[in-house]
Chains A and B, each alone.
Chain A
Amino acid sequence: MIERELAYPAPPVAERHPSDLAEVLERVLDKGIVIAGDIKIDLLDIELLTIRLRLFVSSVDTARKAGIDWWETDPALSSRAARDALTQENAELRERLHALESRIGSEELSAVGATAQERSDR
Chain B
Amino acid sequence: MTPSQVPTLSYVFAVCRGGGPTESAERPAERLAEGLAELPGLGTGTPVRTLPAGPLTAVVQDVPAAGFGEEALRRRLSDRAELERCARAHHAVITAASVLAPTVPLPLATLYLDDRRVQEALDERQTSFLTALDRIAGRAEWGVKVYAPTGPPPAPEAPSTDSSGSGRTYLDRVRTRRQSREQRHTQTLRAAERVDTAVRGLAVAARRLRPHGVEVTGKHRTHVLNAAYLLDLGRERELRAALASLRHDETDIQIELSGPWAPYSFADAGTTP
Q: Mark A11-39, 1 if CB is under 8 A from B, else 0.
A: 10110111011111111111111111111
Of A16, A33, A80, which contacts B15 at CB under 8 A?
A33
Contacts of A41 in B (CB 8 A): 70, 73-74, 77, 109
CB-based contact A84/B271 at 8 Å: yes
Cα distance A23–B84 when bound, in Å? 11
Of A1, A24, A46, A113, which contacts B167 at CB under 8 A?
A113
Chain B interface, number of residues (Cβ within 8 angstroms)? 88
Cα distance A115–B110 when bound, in Å? 62
CB-based contact B215/A54 at 8 Å: yes
Cα distance A67–B104 when bound, in Å? 34
Chain B's nearest CB lies how many Å from the CB of A118? 9
Known contacts A28-B90, A32-B264: A90-B193 contact under CB 8 Å: yes
CB-based contact A29/B87 at 8 Å: yes
Cα distance A59–B74 when bound, in Å? 24
CB-based contact A22/B78 at 8 Å: no
Which of B21-29, B38-46, B206-214 lies on the face that meets chain A?
B206-214
CB-based contact B259/A8 at 8 Å: yes
CB-based contact B95/A16 at 8 Å: yes
CB-based contact B109/A37 at 8 Å: yes
Closest to A26 in B: B209
CB-based contact A87/B240 at 8 Å: no
User: Is B231 an interface residue, CB under 8 A from the partner?
Assistant: no
Cα distance A4–B99 when bound, in Å? 22
CB-based contact A33/B267 at 8 Å: yes
**What are 21 A-B pairs with beta-carbon distances under 8 A?**
A2-B254, A13-B99, A18-B143, A20-B258, A21-B84, A27-B265, A28-B264, A33-B125, A33-B268, A37-B112, A38-B112, A41-B74, A41-B77, A43-B109, A55-B213, A57-B211, A58-B216, A62-B214, A79-B210, A82-B208, A90-B193
- Closest 6 pairs between A and B when the two form their complex, measured CB to CB: A58-B213, A31-B264, A32-B105, A27-B264, A116-B167, A39-B111
Given A35-B12, A86-B225; 16 other pairs, CB 8 A cutoff: A1-B254, A2-B256, A8-B259, A10-B240, A21-B84, A27-B91, A27-B261, A28-B87, A29-B87, A38-B117, A48-B83, A56-B213, A57-B213, A58-B214, A97-B185, A112-B170
